[in-house]
Structure 1
Amino acid sequence: MPPLPKNYQYILALGFAIQELNKDLVLLPNATLGFRIYQESSFANKPTETSLALISTRRQMVPNYNCDKQDKLLSIIGSLDSKTSRQMASILSAFKFPQLGYGSPKLGFASPSFYRIDPNEILQFRGLVSLFLHFRWNWVGLIALEDDTGEIFIQTLAPLLAQNDICVAFTEKAVPETHVLLPHLKQWAKQVSKVYKSEAQTVVFFVDANSIRYLMAPITQLVKNKGTSVGKVWILTSRWDFAAARSARTFKYLKHFHGSVFFKIRTRKVPGFDKFLSALDPYRSPEDVFLRGWWEVAFDCKFLKPDQNVSKNQRNCTGQEKPEDLPTFVFSTEMTGYSYSIYNAVYSTAHALHDAMYSTGPKLAMVPDGKRLLNLQPWQFQILASLSKIRFNNTAGDEIYFTEHDKRPAAYDILNGVFFPNGSWAEVKVGGLDPRAAPGEDFSINPDAIVWVTQKTPFSRCVESCPPGQSRKVLEGRPACCYECVSCPEGTFSNQTDAVHCTKCPEDQYPNKKQEQCISKKTNFLSYQDILGMVSASLALLLFLTTSLVLAIFIQQRDTPIVKANNRDLTYVLLASLQLCSLCPFLFIGRPKKTICLLRQMAFGTVFSVAVSSVLAKTVTVVLAFVVTQPGNVARKVLWRRTANSIVVACPFIQAVICAVWLATSPPFPNLDFQSTPGEIIAECNEGSAAMFYAVLSYLGFLALVSFLVAFFARKLPDSFNEAKFITFSMLVFCSVWVSFVPTYLSTKGKFTVAVEIFSILASGAGLLGCVFFPKCYIILLRPHLNSKDHLVRKKCKTI
């Protein structure tokens, strides 16, 4: 059977390289190169037989005995199968013959005479992962050859897929090309059926052209039974080539690959190769034993003998057919990846021979005619040593060299196969892999240029994607790709599809309603622009003006009996302290600052302690007024003044000491609370020490309670202007306000907490002002006849 059309291009690339080198008068001026070709076979013993034949005299199987002076073996190029390369290397390495072929460092052999000519495929595997990630495919199938290369493909690709959260729906092993076809027909049909039934819409083929064509028959039958396309997207690696079809008759198989995506090793155009192909003539090249057979397969014709008739379905080969007229899927006039590797392998051998012949070390002896090398042993050629250090640019401009760990870079083109209704086939470049590009930029794809078999981007996923605002939750007992979507917890967000976990927003931000992004929090504090702040400031100002008006009235009426009663000086102190109390809310409105935070609670506690102490002193004054009943009693005057003054001075002093300790130990400070209220940053004054804050309130409460008790017991003492009953009610209001303040204060957040304290200050201050002074103002302003000494005397006499 003649070689496959694409295989024949490998032979042509080899012959073209040899022809160029024999014409090169600089590289090898005194040597003529030739080649022998051995057909690769699937039989296990064939590589061994071929290896032994290469190192033997022609037609005599005597290893390492070669008496053919014209057949001096310089190197062996092949095989294109890594398993065959390993078998050959086990023999050839013992005789130090350089071998340039296809293989992998993971194949389990390390031969010092073996040099790998195919590029490392790890970039292609990474390109597959990048392709899956770009289209968000996480449920894919793998079909690989049932040999070492297929095993390495799965072992290499599977971890890369797992690292990127891509699951393998199934893994099938395709039987390599074999002469025994019938036993494998059922297996191929079963594999195709499994591929079709799988939910994975994307299937990766890591097989060669000779093996995959055996799957075409069951695929064709499946499509025929179904009446439509299989609907799968085939992803083909560079090992598969559409041009490996046997002839134009097999063109019908290509329609099954409509919409496929495949990788192809990027090669440069080799100068002169197209002209070399154009010069092919099956009638003038008798030395090429393959040409006529290939010509018949490629052009679907027959070289007939003169007495032979042309059948109905055949046409006679004229020899005038042109290879460049063939469809690219049958034959390409540009070197493919395999052909390019063979071309470079031939030149590598030539450069190694040149280095051995013209190096500064021992030179190879030459026969007098300058045409052939002497009968030296293989190890004496020194080609093996030279191969490891050669570095040259080929005729296409690429730099060729061998690396220690086979890490030579290779670029790939990503192509899209399109089968048109008129029966034509096109390969459209839609992307590529560039190993020299910066990390993250080595993969490129143009999804708009891809024609899919399903008319739209395939959905090759186990489940629907999780939208932003949700995260994945892996279900027990199911693959990692078959997850469910759950909403992000409170305070977290996810801004990408299929998020592994939700991310917590920064402190100054919070997630929006959909929890797909973080937005800046608004700073929350009681400002003058807020309605609540405006109302609070207005009420505080109103209370200050009212208190000032009452103070003005009492100063104006300072000589009247109602003002003189119950210690006129204490009245002024109380009204002045109430004025200051009405100004305290202005310390609570506005953005908290360090100075304001230090003054806020201290001023409030001290000023209110003065007010409550004044009330207590006035109550005690009423009681003392009836303890010493004799008019003009010196003890009465001393008790009145000293006791009242002591209370007004001592009680606020204790409060001042508490505040001083507070400032010295743990003073209040400005603080930003990011956690209490979602979506807001609370600008507040942190009290520093909650214990000291409640100590200030407790002391005020204690003074108010004492004032209430004293006033309660003195409320029925006879006096025309007895304030005890009014003070009792005012202290009742005062205590009620501050008792209700504590739970309300603890249950509110942000500016409402500040508003509660302002309300308590204003309410308690207004309670004191209203209960104690409004009755007196009523008498002074509306009943002036009651504000007289006669009325006071008559009231006392009536009481007696």
Structure 2
Amino acid sequence: MIFAIEEINNSTELLPEIKLGYQIYDSCASVPMAMHVAFQLSNGQNPVFYKGSNCSQSGVVMAVVGDSGSTPSIGMLRIIGSFNIPLVSHFATCACLSDKQEYPTFFRTIPSDHYQADALAKMVKHFGWSWIGAVHSDSDYGNNGMASFLDAALREGICVEYIESYFRTDPRSKIQRVADVIRWSKAIVVVAFTASGDMRALLEELALNPPPPRQWIGSEGWVTDPHLMSFSFCAGAIGVAIQQSVIPGLRDFLLNLSASEVAASSVLTEFWEDAFDCKLTRNSDQENRVCDGSEDIKTLLSPYTETSQLRITNMVYKAVYAIAHAIHNSVCEETNITTQCEKYKKLESKQVFSELKKVNFSRNGYHVSFDTNGDPVAFYELVNWQKSESGFTKLAKVGYYDASLPMGQQFHINQNITWLEGTTQVPVSVCSESCPPGTRKVLQKGKPICCYDCIPCPEGEISNITDSPDCFPCSNEFWPNTKKDICFPKPVEFLSFDEVLSVILAAFSVSGASLAIITAAVFFRHRATPIVRANNSELSFLLLFSLTLCFLCSLTFIGAPSELSCMLRHTAFGITFVLCISCVLGKTIVVLMAFKATLPGRNAMKWFGPLQQRMTVLTFTFIQVLICIVWLVVSPPFPMKNLTTYKEKIILECALGSAVGFWAVLGYIGLLAVLCFVLAVLARKLPDNFNEAKMITFSMLIFCAVWITFIPAYISSPGKFTVAVEIFAILASSFGLILCIFTPKCFIILFQPEKNTKKYLMNKN
């Protein structure tokens, strides 16, 4: 402060030919002492009480620099504020002092704790700490600072395990209790919003029984204090600090200290005797040596001579210059050539107060101005306690916080940070571990929001972020992976040719068609033999042709459904089976008519000759063709994605379109099969070697049994197995027909040719 005033008094630009006077008081960090000083400043320095209005008022204080603490500053403002005497503090950071209704004459060059609290909360959030402890000074600085921090922490989603307050003058039992809370808590991170003296009292108590490793987060009140860096268990502490600065000429001024100046000042005397461990005056009861004049302050290594890392000191420097500029603007006028100042102008403190609001200048590269709350632009350095190679703890800058930048860009931090116990790994301090993707958070009953359990997402839902509060369902055509953190397209399922089941069914289908073709070839090769001619060879060939189509139509059910395949598979199946049953029905009617024709007076065969047989087959088949055409025109089958049968996959299948059409096709086949079965039963006991009725009866019995069991199996089979059941029914009924009707004849033709004679067939025995 003295250096700044002397600089101003020697300046030709700022307050030329006007000298500033000053009086320095030590408030001793005591509120009563600060109040006493405030009264002295308000009373003025003149010993005589002047009544006249023209008398000098030089004894009235124009402005005050200080105090270092928020609580003493509040006490002083209650007194000097009534006289419009501005107070410019260099270290009172309580956010409460920004209230202009309460403290209209307060200004400061150090940022408000509102910004410091925000910077601390952002720092805690940046490193992922959600479970912390908090201690603070039981003072305006600590109480208001911690309140601001807790508000900011709440906005950032940070939970506080404990909040402890104390003051350095509290009984040791209370400080010991705070230390025990820190020792036994689960929170690894401790945010300390304390003054330097209060922090020393706590650390001294903790040093008696060092706690488990704790990551200390410090406010600017103590984190830059070099005296506290001797506590090794605090190594790795990180916090916010006032911007480092350099004041040109200050070091030389401090080192140019004469013995007479030291002796004239009680403060300098105390400093000198403590630094050099000697006494300036000799007393009979002193054991310490007397200073002999050989003491050289330039050789002294102490915070006094270390001016390369000034922080709070620069705030004092800016406060003095702010007041000087306010006085300058009150008594001086700028002209084009010179600056004219009125030396004898009657200056009042309220004028200085008014001009302080408008102050706007730069000094040594640092800008000085005040907003409407009397606060400067907030800028902090982020500092870290790092151990040097020599084992001493030093302060390293690791980032910054600049409130003037846009939101999201205010906080910046480097990664070269040393943490507790000298590690480079960021410590973890959470109540509950983060919930990985695929789970959601469920709060634990009666605990803060940072304490939760991780519950897996329910079926069909995912969470793709860490600590997700909810799971959300995948869309209809998507399904979660096993970790339930990504929605994948559901696998599309249909009876493809790549599957073993499809290969087996296709093999049986081709085998059946081949068997029908081979049988037709055998019949054609032996078409002139009695057994072929006796069994209506024309209908037999037509039946074998229809059976070949029946076997092959089952192949249309395999593969991805398309519009064409869906229409083809059902209509082809319906028409070929009706053709097949019509042929069997025709053969059954031929057997009955042949028997009736042998009775005396009967000539039934003339009513069922080859032409009538063809017309019967054609008529029955044509009816089925009409049913299929109506079905395809009104509401044909179409491919669809079945999303309801299985949640985790899509069934690609053919929708029936019109269920009535489908069941009409099946019903008509069933009607013909039942009619054929009834006629075959009637003809089964006819005593004739030409009679096929027994084998037709057995084949129809198999056919009806297969399709009766098909209905419930078709309805209950899921997905692609529905198609497999339908193919199985087609193949089973087709094999039943070909094996029952044609196998005995082929066996005789190929292996018992002696029975394939007219004589044998005419033998009634």
Structures share fold, TM-score greater than 0.5 = yes
**What's 2:747 paired with?**
778
User: Which of 277, 284, 290 matches 1:301?
Assistant: 277
**What's 1:651 paired with?**
624
**What's 1:266 paired with?**
243
Alpha-carbon distance, 1:434 to partner: 5.1
Alpha-carbon distance, 1:58 to partner: 1.6
SS in 2 for 1:231: coil
Distance 1:103 1:729 in 2: 103
> Does 2:272 align with 1:290?
no
**What's 1:82 paired with?**
70
Distance 1:748 1:625 in 2: 45
User: Given the superposition, is the C-alpha separation of residues 427 and 316 from structure 1 closer, same or farther in structure 2, using an over 3 Å criterion?
Assistant: farther
Q: Deviations over 1:356-385 (max 9, x none)?
A: 56789xx9xx999x473511334445x525
User: Which of 557, 560, 566 matches 1:588?
Assistant: 557
Q: Deviations over 1:541-592 (max 9, x none)?
A: 3333333333444455556655556665544444333333333344333334
User: Which of 45, 48, 71 matches 1:58?
Assistant: 45
Alpha carbons 2:278, 2:289 under 8 Å: kept: no
Give the 5 Å matches for 1:33-52. Answer: 33-40=20-27, 47-52=34-39
**What's 2:392 paired with?**
424
Alpha-carbon distance, 1:51 to partner: 4.1
Distance 2:475 2:499 in 1: 27
Q: Deviations over 1:573-631 (max 9, x none)?
A: 44333333333344333334444344443433444344344444544554455566633
Alpha carbons 1:89, 1:114 under 8 Å: kept: yes
**What's 2:147 paired with?**
155
Distance 1:698 1:287 in 2: 124
User: Which of 205, 217, 227 matches 1:218?
Assistant: 205
SS in 1 for 2:421: coil
**What's 1:662 paired with?**
635
User: Which of 646, 665, 669 matches 1:676?
Assistant: 646
Alpha carbons 1:118, 1:341 under 8 Å: kept: yes
- Larger mean CA deviation between 629-638 and 231-240 belongs to 629-638
Alpha-carbon distance, 1:104 to partner: 1.7
Alpha-carbon distance, 1:127 to partner: 4.5
> Does 2:307 align with 1:333?
yes
Give the residue type in structure 1 aligned to 2:603.
P
Alpha carbons 2:462, 2:487 under 8 Å: kept: yes
> Does 2:161 align with 1:169?
yes
Q: Deviations over 1:144-187 (max 9, x none)?
A: 12234433334333344445554322111112x5xxx4x62222
SS in 2 for 1:234: strand
Alpha-carbon distance, 1:341 to partner: 3.1
> Does 2:343 align with 1:372?
yes
**What's 2:109 paired with?**
117
SS in 2 for 1:263: strand
Give the 5 Å matches for 1:67-78. Answer: 69-70=57-58, 73-78=61-66
User: Which of 300, 320, 329 matches 1:346?
Assistant: 320
> Does 2:743 align with 1:767?
no
SS in 1 for 2:221: coil
Distance 1:558 1:141 in 2: 103
Give the 5 Å matches for 1:510-549. Answer: 513=482, 522-549=491-518
User: Given the superposition, is the C-alpha separation of residues 771 and 57 from structure 1 closer, same or farther in structure 2, using an over 3 Å criterion?
Assistant: same
Distance 2:246 2:660 in 1: 86
SS in 2 for 1:581: helix
Alpha-carbon distance, 1:191 to partner: 1.9
- Larger mean CA deviation between 599-608 and 58-67 belongs to 58-67
Alpha-carbon distance, 1:232 to partner: 3.0
Distance 1:707 1:58 in 2: 134
Alpha-carbon distance, 1:649 to partner: 1.8
Q: Deviations over 1:402-460 (max 9, x none)?
A: 3669583423313125498x773323445544554872783435376334279976554
SS in 1 for 2:497: coil
Q: Deviations over 1:676-696 (max 9, x none)?
A: 264x55544455566765665
> Which structure 2 residue ranges, 5 or more long, are not aligned?
none
> Does 2:95 align with 1:104?
yes
Alpha carbons 1:56, 1:62 under 8 Å: kept: no
**What's 1:711 paired with?**
680
Distance 2:539 2:734 in 1: 16
Alpha-carbon distance, 1:656 to partner: 4.0
User: Given the superposition, is the C-alpha separation of residues 752 and 88 from structure 1 closer, same or farther in structure 2, using an over 3 Å criterion?
Assistant: farther
**What's 2:354 paired with?**
384
User: Given the superposition, is the C-alpha separation of residues 636 and 152 from structure 1 closer, same or farther in structure 2, using an over 3 Å criterion?
Assistant: same
Give the residue type in structure 2 aligned to 1:668.
F
**What's 2:220 paired with?**
238
Give the residue type in structure 1 aligned to 2:133.
G
User: Given the superposition, is the C-alpha separation of residues 143 and 115 from structure 1 closer, same or farther in structure 2, using an over 3 Å criterion?
Assistant: same
Alpha carbons 1:609, 1:651 under 8 Å: kept: yes
Distance 1:129 1:171 in 2: 15
**What's 1:194 paired with?**
181
Alpha-carbon distance, 1:472 to partner: 4.0
SS in 2 for 1:194: helix
> Does 2:408 align with 1:439?
yes
**What's 2:421 paired with?**
452
SS in 1 for 2:384: strand
User: Given the superposition, is the C-alpha separation of residues 427 and 377 from structure 1 closer, same or farther in structure 2, using an over 3 Å criterion?
Assistant: closer
Alpha-carbon distance, 1:206 to partner: 0.6
Alpha carbons 1:140, 1:202 under 8 Å: kept: yes
Alpha carbons 1:200, 1:460 under 8 Å: kept: yes
Alpha-carbon distance, 1:351 to partner: 4.3
Distance 1:291 1:690 in 2: 107
Give the residue type in structure 2 aligned to 1:416.
W
Alpha-carbon distance, 1:143 to partner: 0.7
> Which structure 1 residue ranges, 5 or more long, are not aligned?
1-13
Distance 2:615 2:640 in 1: 42
- Larger mean CA deviation between 501-510 and 49-58 belongs to 501-510
Alpha carbons 1:201, 1:231 under 8 Å: kept: yes
Alpha-carbon distance, 1:236 to partner: 1.5
SS in 2 for 1:347: helix
User: Given the superposition, is the C-alpha separation of residues 323 and 74 from structure 1 closer, same or farther in structure 2, using an over 3 Å criterion?
Assistant: farther
Alpha-carbon distance, 1:79 to partner: 3.1
Considering only aligned residues, what root-mean-square deviation do their CA atoms show, in Å?
A: 4.5
Alpha-carbon distance, 1:235 to partner: 2.0
**What's 1:25 paired with?**
12
Over the matched positions of the two proteins, sequence identity in percent amounts to 31
